[in-house]
Structure 1
Amino acid sequence: MPPVPARRRVRESFDRAAASYDEAAIVQRRVCQLLLDQFRSSAMPDSILDAGCGTGYGIGLLRQRWPAAEILAIDFAPAMLAAARQGADLCIAADIEALPCRDASCNIWWSNLTVQWCDPVAVCREAHRVLRPHGELALSTLGPATFAELRESFASIDQHRHTIGFSEPEAIAAALRHAGFAGVRLHRQTVSQHYPDLASLLRAVKDIGANSVGDGARSGMLGRRAWQSVQAAYERHRTSDGLPARYDVILAYAKK
C-alpha cells in the first residue's frame, strides 16, 4: 500500500476547502454518479452510511434512489460536514478508519473518492464491521495513473512528491477480501477534466482540498525558471480541449 498522508494535514486541507469545494468538484460529482450507476443493487435499505461525505453531494443521489432510507453522513473535516447537514438524517464528525457506529448497524456502506486518503485495510475492516449480514459496499477511489502528467512534468525539475500515492486495483480488492467481503467486483476507467493552463489545474486541485501530499512534499515556492520548465513539460500533453487532469478511477463493490 502507498503511504498515507498525515491525517491532521489532510483534515485541515479539506476544512479550508469547504467553501470552494462544490464549485470545483466537477470530477468528484461525475465519479459519484458513475459509482451509483454501476451499483447493481436490488436492496431496499433502511440505513445507509456515507463514509467521507464531503459537502453532501452523494447524499442527494442516494436519497433519490432510496428515499425511505436513513442516511448517516460521516466526515472528519468539520467544515465539510457542516455543509452536508442539510441532506443527511444524522451527521457525525469522525474518521472512517474508526467509525463510531455499532456492529451490524447499516445495510449499505458507501464512499466516494475518500479511501485514497486512508489506509484501505482499516477502512474495509470497519466497513465490514458496521454492515449487517448481506449488506453491500460501494466505493470509489483512485488508481496509480491519476495525475500521471503532473508527476511527469514536475519530475523535470525535482524529485519531491507532488501527489499522494494511489493504490493498485488489486490492493483494493485484497483489502476487501481480507476484511471478509465476498463477491468483490471492480470497474476501472479514466475520467479527465481539462483546464486552460497549469495554474488553473493546480488551483482546482487546491479548491477541493486535494493538495496535501504528505512527507516528501516540496517546502518552498518554485522559482520562475523552474515553474516555466514545469509549464513547458505539461504543455506537451495539451489537447484541443486544454490541459488534462487525468483520474484513474476505481469503482469497487462487495457484499458481506
Structure 2
Amino acid sequence: MQPEAEERRAHKRAVRQAFDRAAASYDAAAALQREISARLADFVLAQAGPTPRRILDGGCGTGHGQEALARLWPQAERIALDFAPAMLAQLPAAAAARLCGDLESLPLADASLDAVWSSLALQWCEPATALGEIARVLTPGGRAWIATLGPETLWELRAAFAAVDDDRHVISFHPLAHWLESAASAGLDCTARDGSRVYARAADLKRLLRDIKQIGAHRIGPGRRRKPLGRMAWHRLEAAYERHRLADGSLPASYDLILLCLERPA
C-alpha cells in the first residue's frame, strides 16, 4: 500500500474513533454545532427550489440537523448517515432511517436522492472524493446544502501554539476556492454561497480546549501523536492566548464557516 493511502486510512480510523469517544459528551458541548445547523437552515430558506422527497443528512452526528430538516421539509423521507456508530446510537428513537457509512463512499444508489444536507462533516473528508459521491447519488436537479469550515478556523489557537513550538497542533481546513474547484470537477454547480465567523467561548483555555475535545475535533489531523505539553509550555500557551480575551472576559475560538448550495445540473 502506498504511504499516502495508508496515511488516509489511519486518518479515517482516527476520525471514527474520536467521534465514537465523543458521542456521549457531544450534545453537552455542541452549542456551536446547533448554531451552525440553524445558520444552514436559514441559508436553505433563502434559496427557492423544489421540495425534495428524499434527503440524506450526511454526517448527522447526534441528530441536530434532523429537527431542522423536519421543519424545512416535513413530508420528506430522511436518511441519517454517520461514520461513527456511537453517534448514530445517540439519535432519538423516532429519528430518520439510520445508515452507518462514509461520505467518501456512500452506500447509496446512483441518482437516489433529491437533496443532501451536511453540517460540519465534510471538512473531515477529501473534498473531490466526497463531492463526487454527492454528485453521484443526487438526481438531476438535486441539491446539496453544505456547512463546512475554512482555513481561518481556530486561528487564535494556531497563533498561540506558535509561541510554544514549531509543531502543527491545529488542523488545517480547505479554503473556499478549493471547495468550488472540487464541486466543479464533480459536475456540481454552485448556485449560492455564504461565509461568516462563528465563535465558541469559554472562561479559560482549559475549558475551551475541553469543549473542542468533547465534540471530537481533536487529534484527528494527519501526523504523529504528540505528548502532552509540559507545565512551562502550557503556561506559554495560556499567556499567548490571553491576547485574544474579549471585553466580556471570555476567550474566543473562531470557526470560519463556509455555506454552499451545490446543484447537479438537470
Match of 1:64 in 2: 71
2:57 aligned with 1:54? no
Shift of 1:82: 1.1
Shift of 1:72: 0.5
Shift of 1:46: 1.1
* Cα distance in 1 for residues equivalent to 2:190 and 2:253: 32
Instruction: Kindly provide the CA deviation profile for residues 65-86 of structure 1, in whole angstroms up to 9, marking residues without a partner as x.
Output: 1111110111010000111253
Match of 1:102 in 2: 109
When structure 1 is superposed on structure 2, of 35-44 and 148-157 the one drifting more is: 35-44
* Cα distance in 2 for residues equivalent to 1:86 and 1:31: 24
**Structure 1 pair 183/116, CA: closer, same or farther in 2 (3 Å)?**
closer
Shift of 1:218: 5.1
Shift of 1:41: 3.6
Match of 2:203 in 1: 196
Of residues 151, 157, 162 in structure 2, which corresponds to 1:150?
157
**Structure 1 pair 41/84, CA: closer, same or farther in 2 (3 Å)?**
farther
2:171 aligned with 1:167? no
> In structure 1, the residue corresponding to 2:103 is in which secondary structure?
coil
> In structure 1, the residue corresponding to 2:57 is in which secondary structure?
strand
* Cα distance in 2 for residues equivalent to 1:87 and 1:95: 23
Match of 1:33 in 2: 38
Of residues 239, 245, 255 in structure 2, which corresponds to 1:247?
255
Task: Provide the TM-score with structure 2 as the length reference.
Answer: 0.92
2:188 aligned with 1:181? yes
2:95 aligned with 1:115? no
* Cα distance in 1 for residues equivalent to 2:222 and 2:74: 43
Match of 1:213 in 2: 220
Match of 1:11 in 2: 16
When structure 1 is superposed on structure 2, of 230-239 and 152-161 the one drifting more is: 152-161
User: Which 5+ residue runs of structure 1 have no aligned equivalent?
Assistant: none
* Cα distance in 2 for residues equivalent to 1:118 and 1:21: 20
Confirm or deny: 8 A CA contact 1:169 1:186 kept in the other structure. no
Instruction: Kindly provide the CA deviation profile for residues 129-158 of structure 1, in whole angstroms up to 9, marking residues without a partner as x.
Output: 101110011001101110000011011111
Shift of 1:186: 1.7
User: Which 5+ residue runs of structure 2 have no aligned equivalent?
Assistant: 1-6
> In structure 2, the residue corresponding to 1:38 is in which secondary structure?
helix
Shift of 1:229: 0.3
> In structure 2, the residue corresponding to 1:244 is in which secondary structure?
strand
Task: Provide the TM-score with structure 1 as the length reference.
Answer: 0.95
2:28 aligned with 1:20? no
When structure 1 is superposed on structure 2, of 201-210 and 155-164 the one drifting more is: 155-164
Confirm or deny: 8 A CA contact 2:122 2:130 kept in the other structure. yes
Task: Tell me which amino acid in the other structure corresponds to 2:195.
Answer: R
Of residues 70, 73, 79 in structure 1, which corresponds to 2:80?
73
* Cα distance in 2 for residues equivalent to 1:129 and 1:19: 33
* Cα distance in 2 for residues equivalent to 1:175 and 1:87: 35
* Cα distance in 1 for residues equivalent to 2:94 and 2:148: 23
> What is the root-mean-square deviation of aligned Cα atoms in Å?
1.5
**Corresponding pairs, count:** 254
* Cα distance in 2 for residues equivalent to 1:104 and 1:82: 28
